[in-house]
Structure 1
Amino acid sequence: MSTQLPKIPLVFLGLGLYRAWIEIVYVGTWIPFPTLPIAGQDIFDGAMVLVLLACALLHRYVTPLFRKSMLLWAAAGAVSLGTIVNFLTLVFPAAAPLTALPSAITCGFGIALLILIWSELYACLSPYQVAVYYAASILAGAAVILICRGFILPYTGTAATLLPVASMACVLRSFSQVAPEDLPHKQATRHPLPWTPIALMSLYAFAYGLRENELTSVMGPMSSIGVIAASSIVLIGITRFRDKFDLDVMQRIALPSMVCSLVFVSAYNLVGTLFANICASLSYTAFSILIFCILCDLSRRFGFSAIMLFGLERGIRAIFSLLGRLVDNVVISIGGHSVLSDLVVAGAVAVLVIAFALILWRTPSQKEYWSVPRINPSGSNLSATSEIDDSAEHLAIACSLIRRQYELTPREEDVLSLLVQGKSIAEVAQNLVIAKGTAKVHVRHIYEKLSIHTREELKTLVFEQEVR
């Protein structure tokens, strides 16, 4: 088994820069901004939610977002400007009442567009690339935060001001490394909206919100031990086990970790808050990575607008996280973490466990087309100028070329790749989590488009592409 870390283009790690900015300036910040008591995380989140949901509803007019460079640079500039204003209130605290609200709204608007443009980029990539790059970006963001914690305030302010602009520069540069055929474009799909993954993420966000007040008082939500652990599990799993690593392991980690976090609220005297906080951030990050990969895969395979999917998912997620914080505040207001409040939390845990048992752990019906994507290192959506690691990537490029030449769908490309690897129809269906009859239909369409009749003809065609 290969233990070499997959090659990751540095520009794709720019996603971690906006994550770092969020913690430094608004969510879990260690800097005593005078603006935060006036218009802090809730106002920032509210502005972000409005923009996310508005873009989701108007996705037909917004997609493709990466072509609206002037709007994107204006958004990054707005976040940087809001950052400067927040840091200036440390010197001129009397200005905080006047600047807090517009600064929070401006930053929420800009960060929402940064979230959407990065989501649009990642939806162009294969599940393997999404998992590796996203996990690595989370770790990169945590590293930036830890470095900034060691800076004196002027240096922290300078770094925070530059982070949104640097993140935007990275994402726009990253689009140039995606094959032209895989770039986002206006498209329609007849499939119903995949509400189940979005609903599941919202439940986790609510549970996380119950712990967020305690979590952010001890460690940063973007740089905690749990965040680093969850991201490392993905990177180490893919590095050590390659295509044998199953992303589904993340949901098996997430549920017990979140339950432990909530249950240990009533065991502070025995364990302390640290363990509960680690479990909460581990669970939330693990499930966030899983849902991110699922939604990117749905956008790539079925033509969903990434702006619509992630606008809804991130917007609804933020709303439920806010509801969780509000519930925790109510619990605290009626006596803190007393016997009564522990009963409330225990009740919330019971509801969540039941919901997860009914939705998360059941076997999907045949009507549900969403699934946990299979991590296949041979999948690649980068342009031909990207470096090729091994023969598996040669095969991926050959299949990609055939797809473009014969106008195969992304799903048919997945089937083509498995057929060339010698997989049977049953194995193709199992790997792609589809019915055997559906796999046969895809194979028939591939043969018709390629004007071939046998598996040998198919392999010959792919081999000719490889040797060119």
Structure 2
Amino acid sequence: MPKPNIAVLGYALFVTINATSLWGGVFPFFPMEFHTPEVTILFFLSQALAYCATFFLTMLVAYRRPEFVHKTLVLIAMALAIAGAISLIAAMYLKWLTIPLVVCGGVCLGMGCGGFAMAWQRYFSAMASTSGIFYLLAGTMLGSPVFFALYLVPSAVTVYLSPVILIPVCGLCAILATRTIDFSLPQFADVPARNPKVYALAVRDYWKSAVGIGAIGFASGAVRAVALADPAAGDATNIFSMIGSLAAAGILLMVWRRRSFQFDLLSALKVLFPASLTCLVLLPLLAGKLSFIAGLLYLAFSVVSLIMLLQCAQASRDRGINPAFIFGFCGGIVYLMQDAGFVFGFWADSFLDGAFVQLAVVALMGGYVLAMAFALQYMGGTVVLSRRGVPDSVEFVSHEAEEPHEVPSISERHAPESSLRQVDEKPEADATLPDARVSAPRGPGRRSKAQERDRSERLRDRVSKDCLLLQEQFKLSNRETEVAELIMRGNSVSSIAETLVISENTVRTHTKHIYTKLGIHKRQEMLDLVQEVVEYARGQQREA
């Protein structure tokens, strides 16, 4: 696996800033007299709406003017986050301006945190799959101990850490990380407005999963609203969210070290939906434990949010989709639903009489949204991400090709288009690529039932069977396997792009990655390699 770099520290600081700023969680570090219901509700609402609006706004700008997002995102996010933190500090001293400053601080922090989230997601999407997933998970894990370390610092000091240290250092790390991004990659080079079919298909494929995550966000937001009267609620939501992120990231990393696997959102929802529904059922019965239940729901929300980050990054790499667009679309839906849950919970708490009635109504509505969102995942009988039946899953492929060979160099990427017009011609690849011919056993390992089912569904004929064998031997991703199969069938770049509904530049990039992993330079060599792999596999079977 890759070694940690400055991006891990930067993202860990962002996770800490997000936890101590989002959902009113900043107030545990402010004086108790600052925790009035009016201040807390206004801050939460202004920040949550600004955070959600930032996702949709960035998505729209990236669709028309992606170069503007590339150049200014980090600087704008850092300036807004610092301004928001300073506004909150000023609100403690300027009593006559407390409400305007709190609202201003909420809006600035919401937009700043949303901008930082976009910037880091863009960085992870620009990397090779192995590195991007590793840095994201490692940064998430490191963020938890950094957050808990804040409780060791006196509260009077902690309030000033965010604008003075945390946000500037996070911004500096983001700037340094951004400088390593190659903006000539397909997901950055293309203007989304020029490929509307690609983005329309992405919206159609991902809106269901976004609604599924948003349903848990709705439930957590509603319970958070009715728990605002308890100052301990901010602590509980923060602590449980960080525990959930730490556990999810740690488990994924540990399993990944042992073997390759696929982790899909639907499998997570099968566990987290019943758990969230159980919390809602217990809500009216455990009125004195609102903070605990709110914390558990935020734990579930933090887990599915992490899956959303991984899923959006993979979609950007596989489809050549601008990461700001796909993450803005999914994140906007998710946080809009969480905001709707908060508004509903606030309404129930303000206008319904009796604690039991309030909690019962919140539990009933939260359960209804969860049930409808879960049923939505099965509309049409299956959950797929492409017309070719690739599951909606995040791929954790271990032992991929070495990092320097996974991503083509600048000179390769700017090779004359004619040299890549037909995928059976030789791409401008490095002559020193390692020879990947079969020289030793590389068994496929154990496959899960879901993987076996997916394998059987994708078997069409001998060509598709041979491509799956290549995938197992050389650790190709699902998308790379799709492209390899179409190459073997003699399709051109334009034909593959039309079939998979992706841009031609994305096809060329996938082709280079495939050839690099296989250690070949043209289609005929792929056909020869397939024959070698098949003969080798048959020889192993005869010996067994």
State the TM-score, normalized to the length of structure 2: 0.68
1: CA distance between counterparts of 2:218 and 2:188? 31
Deviation per residue, 1:61-109 (Å, 9 max, x gap): 442466414x632431232132123113323323324433333333333
Q: Superposition pairs for residues 97-108 of structure 1, below 5 Å?
A: 97-108=99-110
Letter in 1 for 2:119: I
Specify which of 6, 11, 18 is matched with residue 15 of structure 1.
11
Equivalent in 24, 31, 41 of residue 44 of structure 2: 41
Structure 2 distance, partners of 1:282, 1:51, is 23
Counterpart of 1:329, as a letter, is F
Task: Show the counterpart of 1:441.
Answer: 486
Find the aligned partners of 2:138 and 2:293 in 1 and give their Cα distance: 24
Q: Which residue of 1 aligns with 2:298?
A: 281
Aligned Cα RMSD in Å? Answer: 4.1
Partner in structure 1 of residue 214 of structure 2: 202
The structure that has the greater radius of gyration is: 2
Whether 2:248 is the aligned partner of 1:233: answer: yes
**Corresponding residue number in structure 2 for 1:262:** 280
- Post-superposition offset of 1:351: 4.3
Whether the aligned pair in 2 keeps the contact of 1:205 and 1:324 (CA below 8 Å) is: yes
Corresponding residue of 1:168: 171
Contact 1:230 1:285 in 2 (8 A): yes
SS at match of 2:4: coil
Which residue pairs with 2:497 in the alignment? Answer: none
Taking the aligned partners of 1:202 and 1:344, their CA distance within structure 2 comes to: 16
Amino acid at match of 2:71: K
CA distance in 2, matches of 1:64, 1:369: 31
Cα distance change of structure 1 residues 156 and 313 upon mapping to structure 2, 3 Å threshold: same
Change (3 A) 1:427 1:260: farther
1:250·1:287 contact (CA, 8 Å) conserved in 2? yes
State the shift of 1:167 in Å.
Answer: 1.5
Match of 1:76 in 2: 78
Contact 2:54 2:111 in 1 (8 A): yes
Q: Deviations over 1:176-200 (max 9, x none)?
A: 4456764833344432123222222
Find the aligned partners of 2:65 and 2:166 in 1 and give their Cα distance.
Answer: 24
Q: Aligned partner of 1:425: which letter? A: C
Query: In the superposition, relative to structure 1, how do residues 201 and 244 fare at CA in structure 2: closer, same or farther (>3 Å)?
Result: same
Give distance in 2, aligned partners of 1:226 and 1:106: 22
Aligned mates of 1:227, 1:179 — CA distance in 2: 32
Q: Could you tell me whether the CA contact under 8 Å between 2:348 and 2:361 is conserved in 1?
A: no
Q: Match for 1:184 among 182, 185, 188? A: 188
- Structure 2 unaligned segments of length 5 or more: list them: 430-434, 445-465, 492-510, 533-544
Q: Taking structure 1 as the reference length, what is the TM-score of the superposition?
A: 0.78
After TM superposition, give the deviation of residue 43 of structure 1 in Å. 1.0
Label 1:344 to 1:239 Cα distance change in 2 as closer, same or farther (>3 A). closer
| Corresponding residue for residue 452 of structure 1 | 524
What whole-Å deviation, never above 9, does each CA across 1:322-345 have from its counterpart, x for those lacking one? 111122223333135415742552
- CA–CA distance in structure 1, aligned partners of residues 118 and 272 of structure 2: 25
- Structure 1 spans left out of the alignment, 5+ residues: 379-391, 461-468
Shift of 1:265: 0.8
Moved more, 433-442 or 313-322: 433-442
Which protein, 1 or 2, shows the higher relative CO under an 8 Å CA cutoff with sep ≥ 6? 1
1:316 aligns with 2:333: yes
8 Å contact 2:241–2:295 — kept in the other structure? Answer: yes
SS class of match (2:284): helix
**Residue 90 of structure 2, aligned match among 75, 88, 91:** 88
Q: Which residue of 1 aligns with 2:58?
A: 55
Give the letter for the 1:371 counterpart. Answer: D
Contact residue 335 and residue 341 of structure 1 kept, 8 A:
no
